[in-house]
Each structure stands twice: as C-alpha cells, then as structure tokens.
A and B are shown apart, each in its own frame.
Chain A
C-alpha cells in the first residue's frame, strides 16, 4: 500500500513537472522568420531603437522577414491581396540586441529555425561581417544551412521588400531561384553560413557569398489575378558572387566569372556555353553562326605545383566537362561532318578556359583567394605554407595557373542535322 502511494505521488510529481515545460512555446505566439538582413544603421528612422545608454559606437540595422500564415492560407483560397509577409527592422550594437529590440514592435516571439537567408547590405559587408556571424552559429535555433547573400548597390532592407511572381513568399522564391540558377546555369556561388564560417576560420581561403540585386519591377501591362501585382515595386535577381577578403567585402564576380569560379571548385552542374561556329558553318551571317552547348556533367579540381623548395608556387586546374549540342543557329550536319565534334569540343574547352581565367584574374585583382589555392598548399605542404603564409596575397596575385580542360560533346538531341535554307532566286529579289 505504501509503495503504491509513493508510486502515485512520484507519478504525479513527474507528470506535473514534465507537462509544465519552461521552454514551451505555443504556435500562435510565434512569428516565423524566413529571411533576415543586416545593414549599417541609417539613424533617426522610425525603426531606430532608442539608445538606452548613450553608447556612441555605430549601430546596425537588423531586418527580419516574418511570414503571415493567415495571409498565406487566405491567399491560396484567393480571398486576400494582403502581402503574406511582414518586414520589420530594429537597431542595436549587437545582432542579439537588435533582435531583442524587435520585441518592442513585434507582438510575436521570433522563431528562427525556418530562416533560410542571411542577407548583408553592401555597405555593412565592406566593414566586416564576423560580428554578426557569431550569434548565428551560437544560437540553438538558427540554422547553419541558411544561405549568405550580399546585396549589390543596396541594402538588405530593400531586398527583403521585394516580391516575386509564382511564389508568395520571397524567401521560398529566392530558394527556388538559387536552385534554378545553380542547377541550370551555374552562374551563382552558393554559400551557407557553415561554408562561410568554415572558410573564414580556415587557412588560405577567403569566403564567397551570393550576389543579390534589387531590380525594378516594370511591367507595361496591368496585371490582374489572385495576387494584385500592380503594387509590387521591386523584384530581385540572383547572379554572380560577392568576394570577401577575410570578413570584408572587396568586390564582385559577375555571372560568367562566378561560373568560372564554379568550374575551378567543381561545382558546375549545368550551363549553356555559346561557341562561335563561323569556321564550320555555311551560314553567310557570322553573327548568326553560334552553337549553344549544354553542359550535362562536369568535374573540377586543382592542386598546387610547388617547385624550387617552395620558391615557385603554381596551381594546376583540371576540368572535364561533357556537353550536348542543344541549340544550333547555322547549318550543321553532325552526322556527316566527322570533324565537327572535335571542332566543337575545342571551342567548348576554350570557352571554359576563358571563364576560368576571368574568375581567377578577377580574384587576383581583388587579392582574395576565394578558390582556396592557399588552403590546398597548406593541406599538401604545410611547411611551404608556413613560409608563404604572410605574403600569400602577393604570391596569389602573381600566380600563373595552368588550366587543363578536357571537354566532350556526347549527344546532339533529337536531330543530327539542322535545317538548311534552300535559297531560291537572286539575293534581294524576295519572294
């Protein structure tokens, strides 16, 4: 009897303690953050949080994009034109202070695990980003897989206001674009918070991030439908890369250069390379003598070439690619012209080499080793790295990489010969 009583009391205590969890959070009290951004503070704006202790140090502006579940659900039923997200800002000296200052304007507790984006305004990125990364790694709610993007010529605040066709939430639209661009063009350099911080903490490599641009949403037509888009002022474009030296933004790669970067680090998954086919073509107009080759498979790797006891350090980049003939402007007969394949393969190799050289030259110009050539020297020969570490940017800037590209055209789609125009009558006579 006593044992049963003790068991009942113990069970009661256990149930009362385990049911009343201190860390409980009800879903209706949460605001789901899907994207965040950091900018330098503009000061004296309506979102500027009051300065509590008169600290003269510069403040940052933190912006969060929070989903409005009710608007999303209603929007799916075509009942509302309400924007399905809320963009809100606060300022502070540290990221956490900014986030907590948001409590002054947000009726819900911010919930971070669904955050997909960490965006940085250009001006802020130029001043160094380490200060804001620590919290994102330290906090148990944030995700290291969130993508890092830098807003070219703009502020994260502006970018977080953009909207997209086809997707109601900009965060998901951004993810869709990244997936599309990296899977079909390879003209973006994708980096998560984990990739970024690992690069920051590693020897011989500088971090890289997505380049994002705000573009005006211009449509000459009146758009009607479930979501009224006439109110949309701006959209965004994701292309290229933001180049950092240590934690400071120093420049940009455009889309072509970003693909050059992806060739080197082996991240090209697909892409269209347009090569000139004038020599093989019977097309009289050289402007229209272009062949689009679709990359279907690619590999890229590099290794250092160290000679003279570390006095000469070079890099050998090896790239292999397979492509299909995807888009032909002039007349070609891929069945009958046996040399055509070799010709296109050489042209493809040249095109790849040009992209790679463009990326390396830009990085050398910016003195930012985004490829991790130095890290590879450290990994393969730590003693040599020790000797050159202090003057690595000099070594890197004057490095002449050897680029070996091997390309193969494997298929030509559903045709072996393109349409040959049958000319009739004299030129200019018309029909």
Chain B
C-alpha cells in the first residue's frame, strides 16, 4: 500500500480494475444467453481493443484540461446550464450503476449462498459499508483498492486455475460456427462494462500526474480485458455449451474445484472477493456521485451526500428490476448497456468538440490580435 497525498497510477489502475472486474466475476453479462459460447472469448479481446482508445480518450481529455474532473470540465466547456445538466446526468448514471452493482452482488449472495435471506439485507449492508468508505474520500479508497485489487486478482487466478482437471480446451471449438455476427452483442455489452471506468474522469484531479492517469487507465483496461477473456475461456472449457446458461459462472467454476477429492467448497474465495471487490467498487461510485453532486450544488464538502445516495441506490436497485430476468437483460448492450455506452460516447464527443471549438476560437482571436 502506497501512502501518498495523491492517487498513484497503480492505485488508479487498482480502482478501475475493481470497478471493471466486479460485475464480471458475478453475472458475466457479456455471455449470458449467447447461442454459441466457443468464440465468446474473442468478444473479450475485441471489447478490450475497442475500449482501450475510448478510455485513453477520457484520460486524455482530463489531462488536457489540467487534470480536472468531468463536472468542472463540462461546466467550463459547455457553460453552466448545459455543463450542470451533463454533471447531473453523470450523477444519475453513477447512481444507476451503483444500484446495478448492489443488486448484482446481492443477487449473487442470495442465489449462491443464502437463498432465504431477503435481498434488501445484503443491499443495505453493502451500501452502508461502501458509503462509509466513500465518506472518507478517494485517498482511502485508493489505498484500499491497491491492496484489494491484488487480493481480487489472486482470487481470480485461483478461480481460473484450480478447476484445471475439468478444463477441456477442445470445448472452444469450432471457433465461430455461425460467423462473426453473434459476437456483436457480447462485444458491445463488454464495451459498455469497460465504459463504467468513466469514473476515472472524477478521480483525475486526485491523481499524481497526467502521465499517471493515462498509465493507470491503460494498465487497468489491459488487465481486466485479460481477466475477462480468461474467465470466458475457462468457463467455456469447463462447461462447454452450458456455460452461457449459467447465472454465476465464476461461482460455478469455484464449485468445480476439488483438490485431491478432499479440499472442496472453495466458493468462499469468490464470495470474499465479491465482498471486498464490489465493496470498494461501490465506494468509488458513491464517492464519484457524491463529489459530483457537491460540485453541482456548490457545497464545500461531499460527505453528507454519501449515505443518502447509498440509500437511493438501494431503493433503485430494488425498484428498477422486478426479477432476475429483467436484471440480466439490463446489463446487455441491447438494454441498459447500450444507453450508458451511447451516453458516455456522446458526452466525450461533445466535450472534445467544445474543447476544439474553444481552442480554435481563442486561437483565431489570438491571431487576429497579432494582426491587429
């Protein structure tokens, strides 16, 4: 754990890794319901390749604006009214994302381990703990994430390597029996999950440097892309055609672990990594939503907003998706994933265009001044 007044590249990478890996270790929405699983790992690579420049774009935008956050940048480039509207849209997006992840981890607890417990208990407790961390600010989150990302990574490695005796790599063949077309939806879904890393545009002011911001972003995208791809490969190799019918693939993988026929029931590893990983990912999202709201409301501190936002996320998490079917579909590119992807891409395009226009205008003015 690095103690510094600023968020280092490694800490930023760790935060983003947790934000990205968290939903992946739960429902793996990019594979659920897909017809042929053999080539889905290609979607993992393709989505990483597509997402990398988009994430770099976000980092570059913040870097070029003097490491400012997306709310301030929006207000500066688009004016107070439109900029504030953009800021509130981001708050709404993070709130829905928090609700989604809260529901996601709680569904996993209920489905995987404790079916009788009302889901609201898990949601409320997770929100309470995460909001408690978020309230202490991004510095604590960054330091904890640095440690937890390592633990989550190790637990993921366990999940991927321990069922080795039941891995049949020939289950990955034929690669694309129906051509490339079926890859479009899982790739788009995975890209939408990568774009959840847009939270980096709130963390930017606390990072140590523009270079660190870029390094952390690219590092986390590459590592989480590799984890996503490997998870799909192993799940397909173990479960073959039924891998896309599993509700919690990572949990199912750990349930297949048997070391010498004696050491079994290692799903505890997955559950622990959910608890810590999702807890910190949620803390980051709560912090981002609260910090953005404080800017927009002109408050000097964000702390009083964290718990109410946590409560709101719990409420939304319960009300937005009446059943697990609608929840699963909400994560795919044809539902919520598409909306969030389009939203973030449009914001990026608008902000970049506004910045270009501003530079052009100020540049022209400068030149006119010289002439004059």
Contact = CB atoms under 8 A, between A and B. Distances in A.
B174 A382 contact: yes
A194 B166 contact: yes
Interface stretch (A77-85, A197-205, A226-234, A305-313): A197-205
B239 A23 contact: no
B116 interface: yes
B256 A175 contact: no
Interface stretch (B92-100, B117-125, B187-195): B117-125
Contacts of B238: 194
A420 interface: no
B241 interface: yes
A3 B102 CA distance: 26
B240 interface: yes
A53 B238 CA distance: 41
A21 B118 CA distance: 10
Contacts of A145: 256, 258, 264
A17 B114 CA distance: 14
A140 B112 contact: yes
Nearest to A141: B115
A379 B170 CA distance: 8
B265 interface: yes
Contacts of B161: none
A15 B124 CA distance: 13
Interface residues of A, number: 25
Interface in A351-387: 378-380, 382
B242 A198 contact: yes
A127 interface: no
A175 B262 CA distance: 12
B323 to A, nearest CB: 16
Given A145-B256, A201-B242, A23 B114 contact: yes
Band of interface residues on B: 20 to 34
B125 A22 contact: no
B261 interface: yes
A198 B240 contact: yes
Contacts of B174: 378-380, 382
B362 interface: no
A202 B242 CA distance: 8
Contacts of B117: 21-23
Contact of A23 (B113, B124, B252, B265): B113
Nearest to A179: B261
B255 interface: yes
A140 B128 contact: no
B114 A18 contact: no
A301 B112 CA distance: 37
B68 to A, nearest CB: 32
A144 B170 CA distance: 20
27 contacts: A10-B128, A17-B125, A18-B125, A21-B114, A21-B117, A22-B118, A22-B121, A23-B114, A23-B115, A23-B117, A140-B113, A143-B255, A144-B252, A144-B256, A145-B258, A179-B261, A194-B239, A197-B242, A198-B171, A198-B242, A201-B240, A202-B241, A379-B173, A379-B174, A380-B174, A382-B174, A382-B177
Given A198-B239, A202-B240, A379-B170, 5 more contacts: A144-B255, A198-B171, A198-B242, A201-B242, A380-B174
Interface of B: 111-118, 121, 124-125, 128, 166, 170-171, 173-174, 177, 238-242, 252, 255-256, 258, 261, 264-265
